[in-house]
Amino acid sequence: MMKPFFYFCLLTIVLTVSCKSDKGENPDAKSGATKWADTLIYPEETHFKSLKQITFGGDNAEAYWSFDDQQLVFQSNNTAWDVKCDQMFLMNVDETFKDNIPPMVSTGKGRTTCAYFLPDNKHIIYASTHLGADDCPDTPLRKNGKYIWPIYDTYDIFVADLEGNITAQLTNEKGYDAEPTVSPKGDKIVFTSDRSGDLELYTMNIDGSDVKQITFELGYDGGAFFSPDGTKLIFRSSRPKTDEEIKEYKDLLAEGLVQPTEMELYICNADGSDLRQLTDLGNANWSPFFHPSGKKVLFSSNFESERGFPFNLYLIDIDGKNLERVTHSETFDAFPVFSNDGKKLIFSSNRNNGGGRDTNLFIAEWQD
């Protein structure tokens, strides 16, 4: 589950700062046109050859490409689309949505998170709480003055076709099963579950068979993605170390909560072997995704931020060297995902929102 962190960042950021004044407003973006708009790019963002805004309003995040790079599935709570909490929507890559509404591919019930295409480009997987209740579950964000995420025990992972019909249920265990992503090889799914009593990573075949636990240390392991060749995984983790940290983590987990403000990135083989910590930056390092070369990781972080924001995108080699800042926002950039051909990047950002609360999706033409 990634989105509540996004909500917290959004609430913190938009009430305090706005986008750089030298950016101005892009008339093409305001009209919802599909023209590539270089004025959305900050001068220092040299990896972006061009940038296009594709949603206009609401909170939009965690967009993922179909295997043929022709479609995107993403989650949104845009009230103008008649949803009360995160649901899944489908779009073609050449579309934008401002005054029109994309087709919903989740049930419209409960809360959903982390949709991902299957290799046939005709089905998606996603996690949903709809079997627990039709209504949106509560989303507590603070406890004892500290920021928290809810870990809903009604999340399970489902397969749906692109008309929104559920065709399979992949998990049936009691408790949290969510955050599924699919290997580029098309053979495996990685997901997070608390079925062991802790939040660990598991893999399974794309039909839900052969479930294997691959992480075992105490702490929240989540948001995992495969490398382009399917041999490695990158993920975020909050690993408590001191007695006080361990007690706090266990007490919160017993209430179905985690505190994700201190997270680092870890990398391992797809079977969990050769596990090692990749970053040691402090604050929250999360939403990692492999660079098309497989030799670098792009991720979001606030490690340079004294007050918890902004969040920007960074590149780092898989050996932990050559850290490079990619975006230069004063608010929030996160959820970066490369297209399968490696030519484009989609991410979520508060840029060009007029100083309001909207977080939208942007597609960049990437250049190394």
Q: Is 80 exceeded by the pLDDT of residue 1? A: no
Q: Which CATH architecture has domain 3-366?
A: 6 Propeller (2.120)
303 contacts 316 by C-beta, under 8 angstroms: no
Question: Does the bond joining 310 to the residue before it have cis omega, within 30 degrees of 0?
Answer: yes
Would you state the structure tokens that stand for residue 247, as one six-digit string?
Answer: 């007690």
Mean pLDDT for 91-106 is 94
3-state secondary structure of 104: strand
Residues in contact with 347: Cβ distance below 8 Å, sequence separation at least 6, in sequence order? 313, 327, 333, 334, 335, 336, 337, 361, 362, 364
Which of 145-149, 183-187, 262-266 shows the lowest per-residue confidence on average (mean pLDDT)?
145-149
Q: What is the DSSP string of 180-233?
A: EEE-TTSSEEEEEE-TTSS-EEEEEETTS-S-EE---SSSEEEEEEE-TTSSEE
List, for residues 76-91, the tens digit of each pLDDT value. 999 999 998 999 999 9
pTM: 0.90
Which of 84-93, 168-177, 230-239, 304-313 shows the lowest per-residue confidence on average (mean pLDDT)?
304-313
3-state secondary structure of 332: strand
Instruction: Compute the chain's Rg from CA coordinates.
Output: 19
Residues in contact with 142: Cβ distance below 8 Å, sequence separation at least 6, in sequence order? 148
Angstrom distances, CA of residue 278 to CA of 31, 299, 338: 42, 12, 20
Closest by Cα among 124, 149, 127 to 138: 149
Q: Is 70 exceeded by the pLDDT of residue 32? A: no
Average pLDDT of the chain, as a whole number: 90
List, for residues 276-289, the tens digit of each pLDDT value. 999 999 999 999 99
* Helices and strands (H and E) in the chain: how many: 3, 27
3-state secondary structure of 272: coil
Q: What is the dihedral of CA 150, 90, 164, 57, to 10 degrees?
A: 50
Question: At 307, is the pLDDT very low, low, confident or very high (cuts 50, 70, 90)?
Answer: confident
Residues in contact with 144: Cβ distance below 8 Å, sequence separation at least 6, in sequence order? none
Mean pLDDT for 119-141 is 94
Question: At 39, is the pLDDT very low, low, confident or very high (cuts 50, 70, 90)?
Answer: confident
297 contacts 322 by C-beta, under 8 angstroms: no
Which of 1-15, 29-43, 217-231, 288-302 shows the lowest per-residue confidence on average (mean pLDDT)?
1-15
Domain residue spans of the chain: 3-366
Q: Provide φ and ψ at 329, rounded to 5°.
A: -80, 155
**Residues pairing with 344 in the sheet:** 365
